[in-house]
Amino acid sequence: MATSMQKLVGVSQEDDEEEMEMDVKEEDDEDEENGEKQIAAQMMIGVDEVMPSTSSSDQFQYQPQLQEQVSNQSGGGGARRSRPLEEKERTKLRERHRRAITARILAGLRRHGNYNLRVRADINDVIAALAREAGWVVLPDGTTFPSRSQSSPAAGTSAGMTSSSSQMVSQQIPPPPATLQGVSSGYRTTVEYNACRMKGVFMPTPSHYDLSSTAPAQSLGVVADGGEQTERLPLIAGSTQVINDKQIIGLPTKLPERDFAGTPYVPVYVMLPLGVINMKCELADPDGLLKQLRVLKSINVDGVMVDCWWGIVEAHAPQEYNWNGYQRLFQMVRELKLKLQVVMSFHECGGNVGDDVCIPLPHWVAEIGRSNPEIFFTDREGRRNPECLSWGIDKERVLRGRTAVEVYFDYMRSFRVEFDEFFEDGIISMVEVGLGPCGELRYPSCPVKHGWRYPGIGEFQCYDQYMLKSLRKAAEMRGHSFWARGPDNAGSYNSQPHETGFFCDGGGYDGYYGRFFLNWYSQVLLNHGDRVLSLAKLAFDGTCITAKLPGIHWWYKAASHAAELTAGYYNPCNRDGYTAIATMLQKHGAALSFSCAEHHILEQQDHLREALADPRGLVWQVLNAAWDVSIPIASENAFLCHDRVGYNKILDNVKPVNDPDGRHFSSFTYHRLSPLLMERQNFMEFERFVKRMHGELLYTFSSRLLLFISISGD
C-alpha cells in the first residue's frame, strides 16, 4: 500500500512537471509572437487568466514558475526559444498521452465507484474530494489537516490566492460532509425545509453536522492576526470564500453515526409522481421518466410505487377499463429489471396537502352522486365529501346495480387479469389496497376543503343516510334507540379537546353513550377493511397485500385522543385502538403500511407541545401492535426528506437498534420522485441512504483511495 502510494504520488508529480513544462513552452511561443508588451501584460493579470485550461493544482504552483519564466525571457532566454520543433511535438504527444490515461482513470471512477467528478478533474481533485468525504479539511491552497483540529496551519499558506481561483475550486469539488462550524453546507433538515417551503422563501440554515443542533450561526467567523473578530462572511450553499492572512476557528469533530453494514436488507422503493399517468391513461412524459428510472436503477433502488387511479381507468362507464398507460409504464419498469408496488387508489386526488394534480372519482360515479349525494361521507352540518365513497354503501346496490365492495372487487380483478404476466414473473411485489381518503384506512375527518387546519380535532363523518341507518340498527340492538345520533357537543373541525364537552377530560367520550357511539364508529371502519381486504386477498392470491394507516399524532397526550377518535381509531388513554386493526390485517395475511416513521422529526417544533402531540409514542404503539401479531410492516416518509439527519432517523426506525427479536421493516417507500430529489447533493445523500438500507458497507476514505489506486494501476 505504501509503495503504491509513493508510486502514485511520484507519477502525479512527474506528470505535473511535464504539464508545467509544456505550458511554459506554449507561453514562450506566445511571447515570440506578442513581444515584450505581452510579457508585461502577463505579469499584471492573475493566474487564472494566464492559464484558464490548467487544473486547480497547477494554478497553486504556477505563480513562482511564472516569475522564473518572465525572468528568463527578459534576461536572455533566447536559448529556450530555439529548441527544435521536433522536441515541442514530442512534448505535446506526451501531454496527450497523459491526458488520455487520466481520462480513463476518471471514467473508471465514475463507472465503478459511483463517484461524481467534473469533466476536467485531475488527480488533485480526486484526492481532495476523498479527503473531504472522510471528514478532513482541505484548504484552497491544498493544505490538509484533520477536522478534529482546533485550528488550521499557518494562515500565511493561503496568501496569494485570488478570488477567481478559489471559486473555481469550490465549484469543482463537492462540499465536505464535515463542514466548518457555522458554515451553511446547503443541507436542510426536513423541518427546516418544510418551514422554508411554506413561507415561500429560502433561508440559509445551519449544517446538520454542527455539534449544536440549535446553532444559529449561518456565516463564517474569521479572526485577524491580532485575534480580534473582524467580519462575518455569509456563505452560499456549497461555496468557499477566500480568507487571506486569517485563521479559521471552531472546527467540530465528526458526529458519530450508527454503522448499518451487515444489517438486514430492506428494499427501497420510490413513489412515482401523482401525475405520471394523465387523464387519458397515457404516460405524461415517457422519455423523462425513463431517464429518471435509469438513474434510480444505477444506485440499486429496488423498484417504484405507482397509484392506479380508479378515476382514470374506469372513468367513463362501469366496467370499462383502460389500462394502456399502465401497460407501457410497467413494461418500462420490467425492462430496467425493477420491481413494482401498485396502489389500488379508490379515492380522488386533489385538495389535500401534497396533491399537485386533480384526479376525481369516475364520471359515472359523480353523476350518481349528483342525484344521490348520500353516497358520500357527510359531517354534522350536512357538508358532503366526494373524496371517496361512504362506507355505508359497502353493501348497498346504489352504483348501477352494484355495491361499493363489488365495484372495488371488479376493478381489482380486472387489474389482476390485465397484468397477469407481471404477477407471474414477480415484477409486482406488493399491492396496497385503498381503503379510504388518501388510500388510508380512516374517516375523512380532517378535510382541508371544509376549513380544517392543524391541530384541529376534526369532525365525525357519519351523517349520510346509510351510516345513520347502521347507527340506528346498532342502537336498537343495544336497547337504546335514542342513542341513534351523533354527539352534539363534539365541537367543530378546528376545536381543541378542552373546548368541547365530549372530548374534554372526563367528558362524554368516556360515558355510556360515548363508549357505545365510539365502539360503533370504529367497528364500521374495521368492517370496511375486513370486507375489502378479503376480496383483495382473493384477487391477488399469492401476492403481498397491504393496508395503509396514517400517523395522527396531535392530541395523543390528551386523555381522549380526540383527533384519533374522529378518524375512527378508538384509542383513548384507557383503551388500545390499534390492536384490533392489526388483528384484522393478520386475518387476511396483509402487511401494515405506516406513514409516521419519521414524525419524531416534528418534535423539534414548538406547536407540537401546544397540540399535546407525541409522534414517538404513537409510532411505537402502532409498531408493537403489528409486531405482537407478527405482521410485516412497510413504511414511507410523510414529509420531504433530503438531509442526512432525516435519513438517519428513518433508518433508526426501520432497523431498531438492539431489538432482541431482530425485528425490522419489510420495505421502505420514498415519497416521492421529483426534480428536487435529482439535484446532485440530494441524490448523493439518497444513494447513501439506499446503501445503508441494504446493509452495504459504505466506502470510507481509505477504501475509495484503494479503489482509485487499483483502477489507476490498471
Q: How does strand 303-309 pair with strand 268-271?
A: parallel
Give the C-alpha separation, 566 to 570, whole Å. Answer: 9
Give the C-alpha separation, 91 to 54, whole Å. Answer: 16
Give the C-alpha separation, 438 to 350, whole Å. Answer: 10
Catalytic residue check, 282 = no
Catalytic entry in 440, 459, 564, 685: 440
8 Å CB contact between 563 and 457: yes
DSSP 3-state of 695: coil
8 Å CB contact between 281 and 321: no
Give the C-alpha separation, 203 to 195, whole Å. Answer: 9
Q: How many CB atoms lie within 10 A of CB 221?
A: 17
Number of H helices, E strands in the chain: 23, 15
Give CA separation, 533 vs 376, 527, 540, in Å. 21, 10, 10
DSSP 3-state of 398: coil
Q: Which of 637, 702, 691 is nearest to 259 (CA)?
A: 691
Give the C-alpha separation, 57 to 294, whole Å. Answer: 34
Give the C-alpha separation, 469 to 122, whole Å. Answer: 76
Give the C-alpha separation, 694 to 262, whole Å. Answer: 9
Burial 164-194 (b: 16+ CB within 10 A, else e): ebbbbbbebbbbbbbbbbbbbbbbbbbbbbb
**Is residue 158 packed enough to be buried (19+ CB in 10 Å), middle (13-18) or exposed (0-12)?**
buried
Catalytic residue check, 440 = yes
Strands (E), 352-392: 376-378, 384-389
Give CA separation, 388 vs 223, 274, 312, 444, in Å. 62, 17, 14, 9
8 Å CB contact between 308 and 432: no
Catalytic entry in 348, 432, 598, 636: 636
Bridge partners of 548, per DSSP, are 440, 593
Q: How does strand 384-389 pair with strand 376-378?
A: antiparallel
Please spell the DSSP secondary structure of 235-300, one letter per residue: --TT------S-EEB--PPPPP----TTSPP--EEEEPPTTSB-TTSSBS-HHHHHHHHHHHHHTT
Residue type (1 letter), 419: F
DSSP 3-state of 232: strand
8 Å CB contact between 58 and 16: yes
List Cβ neighbours of 293 (8 Å cut-off, separation of 6 or more).
Answer: 304, 332, 333, 336, 338
Bridge partners of 405, per DSSP, are none
Give the C-alpha separation, 89 to 86, whole Å. Answer: 5
Give the C-alpha separation, 567 to 294, whole Å. Answer: 40
**What is the enclosing helix (H) or strand (E) of 609?**
helix 606-610
Residues identified as active-site: 440, 636
